[in-house]
Amino acid sequence: MLDANLLRNDLDAVAARLADRGYVLDVAAYRSLDERRRAVLQEAEALKAERNRVSEEVGRLKRAKENADALIAQQREVGDKLKALEGAEREAEAAFRDFLAGLPNLPHASVPAGKDEHANVEVKRWGQVPAIEKPLDHVELGTKLGILDLDRAAKLSGARFAVLKGLGAKLERALIAFMLDRQAAAGYEEVIPPYLVNADSMYGTGQLPKFEQDLFKTSRGDGAPLYLIPTAEVPVTNLYRDEILAAEMLPLRHCAFTPCFRSEAGSYGKDTKGIIRQHQFHKVELVAFAAPDQAEAELERLTSNAEAILEALGLPYRRVLLCTGDMGFSSQKTYDLEVWLPSQATYREISSCSWFGDFQARRANIRFRPKDGKPAFLHTLNGSGLAVGRTWVAILENCQQPDGSIRVPEALRPYLGGLEVIR
Catalytic-residue membership of 66: no
Q: Quick check: 310 and 317 in contact, CB under 8 A?
A: yes
Was 233 annotated as part of a binding site? Answer: yes
Was 157 annotated as part of a binding site? Answer: no
Catalytic-residue membership of 277: yes
Residues 6+ apart with CB under 8 A from 85: 40, 43, 44, 47
CA-CA distances (angstroms) from residue 234 to 239, 286, 364?
A: 9, 11, 11
Q: Which of 36, 97, 277, 318 is catalytic?
A: 277
Nearest to 145 by CA among 362, 407, 374: 407
Per DSSP, the residues of 109-169 read TTSPP-SSGGG-EEEEEESPPP--SSPPPHHHHHHHHT-EEHHHHHHHH-SS--EE-THHH
Was 331 annotated as part of a binding site? Answer: no
CA-CA distances (angstroms) from residue 138 to 147, 344, 406?
A: 10, 11, 11
Q: Which of 17, 51, 160, 262 is catalytic?
A: 262
Was 350 annotated as part of a binding site? Answer: yes
Residues 6+ apart with CB under 8 A from 187: 253
Distance spanning both ends of the chain, measured CA to CA? 51
> What crossing angle do the helices spanning 167-185 and 295-313 adopt, rounded to 10°?
140
Was 354 annotated as part of a binding site? Answer: no
Catalytic-residue membership of 390: yes
Was 352 annotated as part of a binding site? Answer: yes
Q: Which of 296, 349, 369, 407 is catalytic?
A: 349
Q: DSSP code of 188?
A: P
Q: Which of 182, 298, 390, 397 is catalytic?
A: 390
Q: Quick check: 404 and 139 in contact, CB under 8 A?
A: no
Phi, psi of 54 (to 5 degrees): -65, -40
Was 219 annotated as part of a binding site? Answer: no
Was 264 annotated as part of a binding site? Answer: yes
Catalytic-residue membership of 362: no
Q: Which of 253, 352, 354, 362 is catalytic?
A: 352
- Cα distance between residue 134 and residue 131, in whole Å: 9
What 7-13 contacts at long range (C-beta under 8 Å, 24+ apart), as own/partner pairs, is: 7/34, 7/100, 8/34
Phi, psi of 350 (to 5 degrees): -130, -15
Residues contributing to the annotated binding site for L-serine? 231-233, 285, 384
Residues contributing to the annotated binding site? 231-233, 262-264, 285, 349-352, 384
Residues contributing to the annotated binding site for ATP? 262-264, 349-352
Residues labelled catalytic: 262, 277, 349, 352, 390
